[in-house]
């Protein structure tokens, strides 16, 4: 009797916790549905989700003695039923009331989950809000439900489509999971110790076989438990739309939040750690970025702002970009604040690039909020966000076009997650390499390889392919075997280039749980973290891309987003800033070269360079290339630094002594008096600096016989922006540029500015450049002036001129 009673009570407890868990699960989905439904009240599907939620809560309340919850959900259910049948139409007041009900249900259920009694209070306010303007409902809602007569659970509403069957799941406390994780690690270590004993003693084969079975089971256990820790980013994303909606309402703004990439899986811990930074960035974007609807309309934007969160996983990094189309960031105001806060000196300002100025937003004590709002501007800001991201071994930076919005790029190591890896040995060290990079493994002693040296780089000929080959020992500055006695990993780098990395030995395939390391170690850009092996020893996980960059195997990817420098508040005319490289030539002159033309930097042995002013050449990667800038008598030192310039079809080398800096320059170029290597002068930090004329260099040095493109594009070269910006871009896309003023009668493409008269030329295609960013409805042939990608795409999609 007693036994059965306690059994029954226990079962009730289980039921209650199941109810609480189920409600919480549904809440997340409902939050999203609510926001979507509010945006589009005709969205029947979302309304159904909300109805089902309330219906389920109401039905469940019947089992438990929860009169308050039962009453509230009952009224909400009736209201929603009326909405579904069209008896009532959703207005803002009603939607707010429904949202408030869902919140209240959330509060109550959370309290139950904490084992508390339901909070005291009345829901009359919400019930009244739902019933206001309601055609009097059938009684029951007004009369308090007596606690001792809980309503019977209703049958499933036949109108509600039944829920899809979900996979069975249970919930576990995270601490328990962590304990299980560390216990399994210990079990593995003990297993390995046992394995040594098993090897050392001649054991009964039956015992050894049993041990092997145990060993395999432990391996499987460990894999499964590792999987338990993985979580889809959706878990974080589902909560955001509601937050954004509430905040936008509070601020009187309109905004649409778009999210993609929720299917990316990350370690649970990382997801928890990036939650706050992302929420903070969103709040900032809403508070300071997105303008009030009327201000947006005034500046020619749609009244509702856009915030996009995009997530991408590449190798073992996860990139999250949060983009808004608000008013952007006022770099000059940041500078002012930084000056008054003593973060920078007056003398620093002239040397700061636009990116540097924007970067000030991450400094402690800077807040651009003119007044402290309840949302942001309380001095705790982006500096904390940056610190958190850095501690995860990630990076964060920001780009912004004044008036056009801001974009925050976060790159995180997905390191806490399990990375399928190869372990390799060099000297006494062991390292891990993400398996995703390794295309193939070959022993250097194999007959199919032939090595050759050019300049200071080793090439390996492998199945008809020639690959650059580096020793990991060199890259890490540790002793290791000579290349000829190594194992080679053929590694596929970002961008698809293959290269070979020589290690003493490739040891094993392992799944490694990589943990980030201290910043002082991460800063070297050689490692993504470290992982514990089964025997308790540590391996460092290599940052393949970082190493390839340092070894000059790939060129630094250049962010070519244009930035604007605003002169001052009166003169808000945007001025284009062009990314450029400041270098010292072999003769020691300061010169600038546009970043667009630079493909990469290479170092070669001096003896691979043939000097001279006319026919200088350099041997690089097994090719002989024409070399410009080599009008000197001798190279100082053993190595020469070569800047590789490309125009999309041919490459030339330019001899320099070093790269000084990457800068941005304006387009107010003072043309040089005569055609030649120097295109003209620009002012850089108050100094007139010569800009290399890559165009002329290609014409002069690119190998004769290189087929010139037959595709033509007509531009209005009378316009300065077209000359300085558009022309190199169009040429880079493989077109020969014709000047509209010369009156050509035929071309493949013509590019005109919106509002200017149609070109007189008979072009197969006309691309129109608009000054405003068209609202996502850009046709193929109308492109925003600063949308480089769209423009290149439009150029690539050209239609053949029918002969």
Would you tell me how many other CB atoms lie within 10 Å of the CB of residue 783? 25
- Among the listed ranges 121-129, 199-207, 386-394, 690-698, the one in contact with another protein (CB under 8 A) is 386-394
* x-or-dash string of contact with another protein, 452-481, rule CB under 8 A: ------------------------xxx---
State the nearest-atom distance from the C-beta of 512 to another protein, in Å: 12
Nearer to another protein, 33 or 422 (CB): 422
Residue 730 within binding range of another protein, rule CB under 8 A: no
Rounded to the nearest whole angstrom, what is the least distance from the CB of residue 536 to another protein in the complex? 7
* Cα 56 from Cα 11, distance rounded (Å): 20
Among 162, 169, 537, 779, binds another protein (CB under 8 A): 537
Measure the CA–CA gap between 597 and 646, rounded to whole angstroms.
Answer: 5
Q: How far is the CB of 505 from another protein (least distance, A)?
A: 17
- Kindly indicate which of the ranges 34-42, 535-543, 586-594, 700-708 contains the residues binding another protein, using the contact rule CB under 8 A: 535-543
How many positions of this chain bind another protein (CB under 8 A)? 31
Distance CA(432)–CA(443), nearest Å, equals 18
State which of residues 15, 538, 624, 699 lies at the interface with another protein (CB under 8 A): 538
What string of DSSP letters covers 187-203? Answer: HHHHHHHHHHHHHHS--
Q: Is 365 in the site for another protein (CB under 8 A)?
A: no
Q: Does 221 bind another protein (CB under 8 A)?
A: no
553 binds another protein (CB under 8 A): no
**Partner residues linked to 323 by β-bridges:** 308, 407
User: In whole angstroms, how close is the CB of 165 to another protein at the nearest point?
Assistant: 39
Helix boundaries (H) for 229-321: 234-237, 240-251, 268-284, 293-298
The three-state secondary structure class of 338 is helix
Q: Is 286 exposed, middle or buried (0-12, 13-18, 19+ CB in 10 A)?
A: buried
Which CB, 343 or 554, lies closer to another protein? 343
Please report whether residue 511 would count as binding another protein according to CB under 8 A.
no
**Closer residue to another protein (CB): 274 or 769:** 274
User: Residue 301: how many CB atoms within 10 A of its CB?
Assistant: 23
Instruction: Return the exposure string of 518-527: e unless at least 16 CB atoms fall within 10 Å of the residue's CB, then b.
Output: eeeebeeebb
Separation of alpha carbons 113 and 105, rounded Å: 12
Six-digit token string for 631: 């009008």
Nearer to another protein, 478 or 688 (CB): 478
Question: Of the two residues 17 and 387, which places its CB atom closer to another protein in the complex?
Answer: 387
Tokens of 493: 């780098």
| Binding mask of the shown chain, residues 631 to 670, with x at each position contacting another protein by CB under 8 A | ----------------------------------------
CA angle 532, 538, 541 (to 5 degrees): 85
DSSP-assigned states of every residue in 448-473: TEEEEEETTEEEEEETTEEEEEEEHH
The least distance separating another protein from the CB of residue 413, rounded to whole angstroms, comes to 12
Considering the rule CB under 8 A, would residue 321 count as an interface residue with another protein? Answer: no
Interface pick for another protein out of 516, 626, 629, 646 (rule CB under 8 A): 516
Exactly one of 518, 573, 634, 796 binds another protein (CB under 8 A); that residue is 518
- By CB under 8 A, which span of 402-410, 537-545, 684-692, 742-750 interacts with another protein? 537-545
Is 390 a binding residue for another protein by CB under 8 A? The answer is yes
3-state helix, strand and coil shares in percent for the chain, rounded to the nearest 5: 35, 30, 35
Q: Which is nearer to another protein, 140 or 536 (CB)?
A: 536
Q: Closest distance between another protein and the C-beta of residue 411, in Å? A: 13
Among 19, 51, 437, 527, binds another protein (CB under 8 A): 527
CA-nearest of 461, 501, 486, 448 to 622 is 461
Write out the two tokens for 250.
């509070």
Binding mask 52-91 for another protein (x = CB under 8 A): ----------------------------------------
Sites for another protein among residues 395-434 (CB under 8 A): 429
Tell me if 564 contacts another protein by CB under 8 A. Answer: no
Task: For strands 782-784 and 762-770, give the pairing.
Answer: parallel
* Interaction mask 169-188, another protein, x per CB under 8 A: -------------x--xx--
Q: How far is the CB of 639 from another protein (least distance, A)?
A: 20
Distance CA 119, CA 129 (A): 20
Q: How far apart are CA 737 and CA 756, in angstroms?
A: 19
Binding positions for another protein, 101-140, rule CB under 8 A: none
SS3 64: coil
User: Which is closer to another protein, CB of 61 or CB of 382?
Assistant: 382
- Nearer residue to another protein within complex by CB, 187 or 243: 187
What size, in residues, is the chain?
Answer: 803
Q: Phi and psi dihedrals of 311, rounded to 5? A: -125, 135
The stretch near another protein (CB under 8 A) out of 510-518, 621-629, 706-714, 761-769 is: 510-518
Residues 138 and 651: their CA atoms lie apart, in Å, by: 81
Q: Does 206 bind another protein (CB under 8 A)?
A: no
Strands (DSSP E) contained in 156-236 are 230-232
Q: Is 736 in the site for another protein (CB under 8 A)?
A: no
Reference 721, options 614, 577, 621, 587; nearest CA is: 577
Among 282, 318, 407, 517, binds another protein (CB under 8 A): 517
Say how far apart CA 777 and CA 221 lie, in whole Å: 52
Kindly state the smallest distance separating residue 344's Cβ from another protein, in Å.
11
d(CA 359, CA 357): 5
Q: Which stretch, 190-198, 237-245, 530-538, 696-704, contacts another protein (CB under 8 A)? A: 530-538
- Tell me if 228 contacts another protein by CB under 8 A: no
Q: Which is nearer to another protein, 527 or 698 (CB)?
A: 527
Q: Which is nearer to another protein, 49 or 392 (CB)?
A: 392
CA distances to 452, 465, 484, 702 from 446, in Å: 15, 15, 9, 39
Residues near another protein (CB under 8 A)? 182, 185-186, 356, 359, 386-387, 390-392, 429, 476-478, 515-521, 523-524, 526-527, 530, 532, 536-538, 540
């Amino acid at each position: 009797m007693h036994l059965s009673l306690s059994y029954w009570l226990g079962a009730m407890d289980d039921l209650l916790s199941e109810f609480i868990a189920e409600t919480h699960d549904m809440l997340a989905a409902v939050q999203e549905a609510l926001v979507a439904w509010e945006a589009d009240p005709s969205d029947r599907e979302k309304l159904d989700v909300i109805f089902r939620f309330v219906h389920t809560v109401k039905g469940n309340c019947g089992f438990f003695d929860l009169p308050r919850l039962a009453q509230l959900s009952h009224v909400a259910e009736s209201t929603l039923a009326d909405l579904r049948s069209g008896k009532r139409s959703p207005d803002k007041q009603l939607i707010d009331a429904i949202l408030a009900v869902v919140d209240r249900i959330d509060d109550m259920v959370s309290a139950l989950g904490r084992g508390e009694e339901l909070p005291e209070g009345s829901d009359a306010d919400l019930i009244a809000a739902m019933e206001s303007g309601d055609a009097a409902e059938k009684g029951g809602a007004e009369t308090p439900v007596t606690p001792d007569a809980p309503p019977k659970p209703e049958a499933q509403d036949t109108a509600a489509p039944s829920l899809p069957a979900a996979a069975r799941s249970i919930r576990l406390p995270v601490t328990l999971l962590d304990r299980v994780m560390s216990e399994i690690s210990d079990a593995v270590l003990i297993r390995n110790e046992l394995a040594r004993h098993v090897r050392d003693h001649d054991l009964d084969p039956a015992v050894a076989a049993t041990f092997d079975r145990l060993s395999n089971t432990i391996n499987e256990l460990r894999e499964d438990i590792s999987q338990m820790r993985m979580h889809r980013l959706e878990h974080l994303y589902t909560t955001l739309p509601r937050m954004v909606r509430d905040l936008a309402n509070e601020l009187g703004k309109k905004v649409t939040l778009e999210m993609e990439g929720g299917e990316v899986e990350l370690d649970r811990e990382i997801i928890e750690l990036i939650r706050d930074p992302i929420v903070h960035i969103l709040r900032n974007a809403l508070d300071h970025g997105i303008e009030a609807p009327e201000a947006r309309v005034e500046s020619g934007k749609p009244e509702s702002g856009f915030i996009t969160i995009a997530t991408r996983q590449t190798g073992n990094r996860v990139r999250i970009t949060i983009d808004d189309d608000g008013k952007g960031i006022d770099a000059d105001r940041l500078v002012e604040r930084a000056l008054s806060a003593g973060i920078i000196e007056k003398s620093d300002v002239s040397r700061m690039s636009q990116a540097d100025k924007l970067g000030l937003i991450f400094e402690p004590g800077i807040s651009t909020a003119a007044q402290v709002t309840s949302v942001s501007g309380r001095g705790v800001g982006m500096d904390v966000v940056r610190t958190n991201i850095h501690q995860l071994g990630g990076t964060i930076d920001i780009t912004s076009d004044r008036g056009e919005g801001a974009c925050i790029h976060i790159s995180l190591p997905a390191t806490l997650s399990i990375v399928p890896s190869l372990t390799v040995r060099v000297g006494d060290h062991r390292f891990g390499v993400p398996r995703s990079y390794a295309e193939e493994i070959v022993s250097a002693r194999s007959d199919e390889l032939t090595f050759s040296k050019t300049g200071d780089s080793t090439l390996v000929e492998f199945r008809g392919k020639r690959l650059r080959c580096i020793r990991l020992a060199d890259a890490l500055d540790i002793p290791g075997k000579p290349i000829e006695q190594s194992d080679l990993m053929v590694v596929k780098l970002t961008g698809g280039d293959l290269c070979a990395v020589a290690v003493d030995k490739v040891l094993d395939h392992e799944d490694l749980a990589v943990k980030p390391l201290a910043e002082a170690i991460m800063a070297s850009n050689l490692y993504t973290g470290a992982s514990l092996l089964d025997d308790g020893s540590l391996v460092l996980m290599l940052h393949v891309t970082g190493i390839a960059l340092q070894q000059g195997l790939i060129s630094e990817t250049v962010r070519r987003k244009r930035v604007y420098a605003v002169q001052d508040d009166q003169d808000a005319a945007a001025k284009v800033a062009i990314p450029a490289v400041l270098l010292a030539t072999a003769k020691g002159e300061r010169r600038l070269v546009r970043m667009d033309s630079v493909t990469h930097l290479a170092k070669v042995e001096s003896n691979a360079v043939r000097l001279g002013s006319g026919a200088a050449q350099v041997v690089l990667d097994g090719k002989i290339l024409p070399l410009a800038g080599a009008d000197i008598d001798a190279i100082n030192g053993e190595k020469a630094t070569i800047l590789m310039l490309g125009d999309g079809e041919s490459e030339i080398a330019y001899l320099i002594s070093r790269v000084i800096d990457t800068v941005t320059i304006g387009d107010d170029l003072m043309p040089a008096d005569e055609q030649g290597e120097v295109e003209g002068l620009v002012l850089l930090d108050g100094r007139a600096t010569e800009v290399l004329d890559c165009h002329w260099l290609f014409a002069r040095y690119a190998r004769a016989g290189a087929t010139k493109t037959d595709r033509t594009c007509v531009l209005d070269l009378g316009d300065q922006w077209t000359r300085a910006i558009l022309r190199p871009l169009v040429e880079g896309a493989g077109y020969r540029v014709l000047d509209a003023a010369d009156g050509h009668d035929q071309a493949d493409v013509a590019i005109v500015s919106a509002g200017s008269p149609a070109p007189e030329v008979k072009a197969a295609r006309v691309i129109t450049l608009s000054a405003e960013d068209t609202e996502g409805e850009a046709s193929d042939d109308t492109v925003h002036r600063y949308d480089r990608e769209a423009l290149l795409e439009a150029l690539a999609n050209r239609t053949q001129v029918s002969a």
